[in-house]
Structure 1
Amino acid sequence: MTTYEVEAIATVVGGHTRVQDDYQGGVESVIRFNEAYPLETLQGIEAFSHLTVTWRFHQARPEDVQLHARSPRGNPKWPATGTFVHRNHRRPNQLAISYPRLLGVDGRDLAVTDLDAVDGTPILDVAPYFEQLGPRGPIRQPVWPGEMLATYWEDAAGRPEC
């Protein structure tokens, strides 16, 4: 297999302090770019409402990867699906993509909300979200993702105590 070396361009500062499945909404954090990048690399980004952010599940371990079919979140009422049908840290490269809302820009700091990464997460790439590059045509998916993610974007302040 071909391998690639990728360096983090930024880090998540603040926001979520622990990994959780649901109640991701309403939490503000900062995507802080490394000083190696000139300020002009962000010029014009404030004109966009949302970003496309690629990040790494940095708290995951290589042994977390699961290359087999399993029920999402271990719930037997949902069908067993393969590794590449899940969107979690059990995937081989342990990468995620999120679409947070951009609240503001201060130098190399991008203030965002609804970024479902935790404090300290390495950011591999940031781009503005272009509506024209979103999905084309009708969206199709089975019922289980809607059931599983029913409370995913609920406000974190309403999270029940565990």
Structure 2
Amino acid sequence: MDYLIKPIGHVQRGRADPIDDDRGASRSVIALDPEQSGPEALAGLDGFSHVEIIFVFDKVAPDRIETGARHPRGRKDWPLTGIFAQRGKNRPNRLGVTICKVVAVEGTLLHVEGLDAISGTPVVDIKPVMREFLPRGEVHQPAWVAELMASYW
């Protein structure tokens, strides 16, 4: 079964280029589509420190989609890893997810810090980060991930 997902808004005032590093200090604004939502859709969101933004990597061409394994960032010194064991943008459904700091809420504008999306990116959902939904217990990952993420934020 196919699903139609319509963007609820778009990223504005964020980075223009899809550069993978130094994301932590980047500030963006998510503007809700006024034909779908008014300011009431963001009511109460300013009470949360962080939000989870779900968006579409819409600039990834269909012929660049990965369905198997690859070396993250093309680095042969990192292991061949399946697309679902990494967070690359060339995913089958091109969906991205980032937890961002809430900077401000102004009407239908959500100001965030640390969004892993560029200006113009379609946003398909916004969810508040709640402690109770974070992982319970220890989180572990392969060593190459820490090396990849060292300069990301």
- TM-score (norm. length: structure 1): 0.91
Aligned 1:1-162 pairs, distance under 5 A = 2-35=1-34, 36-153=36-153
Write the deviation string for residues 61-85 of structure 1: whole angstroms up to 9, x where unpaired. Answer: 1111122211111111110011211
Percent identical pairs in the alignment equals 36
Q: Give the drift of 1:103.
A: 0.7
Aligned residues: 152
CA contact (8 A) 2:38 2:107 kept: no
Q: Which moved more, 1:42-51 or 1:82-91?
A: 82-91
Name segments (4+ residues, structure 1) moved above 3 Å: none
The amino acid across from 1:11 in the alignment is H
SS at match of 2:111: strand
- TM-score (norm. length: structure 2): 0.96
CA distance in 2 between partners of 1:121 and 1:147 (Å):
27
Q: Which runs of 5+ in 1 are unaligned?
A: 154-162
SS at match of 1:100: strand
Q: Which runs of 5+ in 2 are unaligned?
A: none
CA distance in 1 between partners of 2:148 and 2:60 (Å):
21
Question: What RMSD in Å do the two structures reach over aligned CA positions?
Answer: 0.9
CA contact (8 A) 1:9 1:125 kept: yes
Q: Give the drift of 1:119.
A: 0.3
CA distance in 2 between partners of 1:21 and 1:114 (Å):
12
Q: Give the drift of 1:38.
A: 2.6
CA contact (8 A) 2:52 2:98 kept: yes
CA distance in 2 between partners of 1:3 and 1:57 (Å):
18
